[in-house]
Amino acid sequence: GAVVSQHPSRVICKSGTSVKIECRSLDFQATTMFWYRQFPKQSLMLMATSNEGSKATYEQGVEKDKFLINHASLTLSTLTVTSAHPEDSSFYICSARVKAGGYNEQFFGPGTRLTVL
Amino acid sequence: AQSVTQLDSQVPVFEEAPVELRCNYSSSVSVYLFWYVQYPNQGLQLLLKYLSGSTLVKGINGFEAEFNKSQTSFHLRKPSVHISDTAEYFCAVSVGITGGGNKLTFGTGTQLKVEL
């Protein structure tokens, strides 16, 4: 099946530093990946849509300069949280879109827990 | 714009009992509906989806859901739950011809807690 990995699974950083999270499609190519953010005991909120070879599309209210997204290849998208602050602490989940049986479906990664001290 | 409502934030149930997790949606266009399960500190796993056709959809782990257009509902059911079903369940909706490949709008989730 379609497998999506994320690295790291957990990261702790100091306030003011930048953190990069990788999202990889392991056994398929994904022209489109999505980045979600999930606060404790809350739902997933779409942050941005990442398209290979072009700029990401951000949802309303998401700071483009703070959450940098790069989709440099068909199997890798990265999310960089710049100048992280404690309020950026969250669970970040990516998904990759793949065509399965004539239908486009999203497959989700296992998530990355970011803690900013 | 579409929205999803999961009225029950928590549902406690005894093992081997039936369970229903409720989901209602609103949309001005045709929708595609999904149920995902999330175990602690993990990503989402697709349980089942409704794209078209039969309104009764069967998924993995013995779960099923019924699409009711008139009531704009997509409730998830399981006739007999197991302790391993304890998890967070999210209902989601997508619009557009590419179904779930488009943006997904999630409900707030229902925590299913199966007790012995």
Task: Tokens for A14, please give them.
Answer: 């100091």
Show contacts of B57-61: CB within 8 Å, 24+ apart. B59/B35, B61/B37, B61/B85
Chain B residue numbers touching A32 (CB-CB < 8 A): 101
Minimal C-alpha gap between A76 and chain B (Å): 17
Say what the pLDDT of residue B101 is.
54
Cross-chain Cβ contact A6/B43 below 8 Å:
yes
The answer to whether A81 and A62 are in contact (CB under 8 A) is: no
A57-67 average pLDDT score: 94
Task: Answer with the residue of higher pLDDT: A41 or B25.
Answer: B25
Q: Which amino acid is at B63?
A: F
Say what the pLDDT of residue A105 is.
80
Q: DSSP assignment, residue A53?
A: T
- Band of pLDDT at residue B52, cut at 50, 70 and 90: confident
Cross-chain Cβ contact A43/B106 below 8 Å:
yes
Chain B residue numbers touching A37 (CB-CB < 8 A): none
Say what the pLDDT of residue B53 is.
87
Task: Tokens for B36, please give them.
Answer: 């995902």
A70-87 average pLDDT score: 94
Judge whether residue B36 has pLDDT over 80: yes
The answer to whether A72 and B7 are in contact (CB under 8 A) is: no
Question: What is the rounded distance in angstroms from the CA atom of residue A50 to the CA atom of residue A30?
Answer: 10
Question: What is the rounded distance in angstroms from the CA atom of residue B103 to the CA atom of residue A83?
Answer: 28
Most confidently modeled range among A1-10, A16-25, B22-31: A16-25
Judge whether residue B97 has pLDDT over 60: no
Say what the pLDDT of residue B21 is.
98
Q: Which amino acid is at A109?
A: G
Mapping DSSP onto H, E and C, the string for chain B reads CCEEECCCCEEEEECCCCEEECCEEECCCCEEEEEEEECCCCCEEEEEEECCCCCEEECHHHCEEEEECCCCEEEEEECCCCHHHCEEEEEEEEECCCHHHCCCEECCCEEEEEEC
Task: Label residues B99-112 b or e (16+ Cβ within 10 Å = b).
Answer: bbbbbbbbbbbbbb
Say what the pLDDT of residue B99 is.
47
For chain A positions 17-76, those within 8 Å of chain B (CB to CB) are 32, 34, 41-46, 49
Minimal C-alpha gap between B55 and chain A (Å): 18
A62-91 average pLDDT score: 94
Average pLDDT over chain B, rounded to an integer:
90
Task: Answer with the residue of higher pLDDT: B55 or B52.
Answer: B55
pLDDT by residue (tens digit) across A40-53? 878 889 999 988 88
pLDDT by residue (tens digit) across B7-18? 999 999 999 999
Q: Which of A26-30, A93-97, A106-110, B27-31 has the lowest mean pLDDT?
A: B27-31
